[in-house]
Amino acid sequence: MSGSTLVRVSLALVATGIVAAASLRPALSDVGPDVPFAVAFLSFIVLLLIAAAAEPPRWSLALAFALAALTYAVTVLANGGAIVGIGAYVVAGLAAYRASPPRSRPLAVAIFALWIPAIRLLGPDPLAGAFPSLLAGASVVALAA
C-alpha cells in the first residue's frame, strides 16, 4: 500500500472514530444533539474531503489527531470525566505517534481515534451498567496489542 493510500484510509478511519465518539455524548449524558456534535460531523466531512484528494496534505494527520483529541475531550468532560485522564490519553496518543515508524504513523492516529472505550473508561463511573470489568480489561489489552 502506498504512503498516500495509507494516509487516505487512516483519515477515513479517524473521521469514523470522531463521529462514533461524538455520538456517545448524547447517549451517555441524556442531552440532545447540539453544537459539539455538529462540529464533530463537520470534522467528519472535512476529513473525508481531505482523504478524497489524490495526495493529502502533509498536515492532514496533525489535523486529524487534533480533531479526534478535541472530540474525545469534549465528550469525556461533558459526561463528567476526568480532565487528567483525557489529557493522559492524548499524551499517550502523541507518544504512540512519535514512537511509530514514519510509515505507520497514519495507523497510530487512526487507532487513537477509534479506541471508543476510552470514553467510558475515562468517564465518571467507568465500570457501571453495561460495561463490565472483563470488557474493560479486554479493551485495554486490545489497545496495547
Provide the mean pLDDT of the chain: 82
Burial class of residue 26 (count of CB atoms within 10 Å of its CB; 0-12, 13-18, 19+):
middle
Contact partners, residue 33, CB within 8 Å, separation at least 6:
26
pLDDT over 90 at 35, yes or no: no
Q: What's the confidence (pLDDT) of residue 63?
A: 96
C-alpha cell at 136: 474493560
pLDDT tier for residue 136 given thresholds of 50, 70 and 90: low
The SS3 assignment for 58 reads coil
Report the alpha-carbon distance of residue 110 to residue 17 in Å, rounded.
Answer: 8
Say how many Å lie between the first and final Cα of the chain, rounded. Answer: 22
pLDDT digits (tens, 9 = 90+) for 65-123: 999 999 888 888 877 777 888 888 889 889 989 999 999 999 999 988 888 777 777 76
> What is the average per-residue pLDDT within 14-18?
92
Domain that holds residue 102: 3-144
Q: What's the confidence (pLDDT) of residue 65?
A: 95
Q: What is the pTM of this model?
A: 0.82
For the chain, how many structural domains are there in total? 1
> What is the average per-residue pLDDT within 11-33?
79
C-alpha cell at 70: 478535541
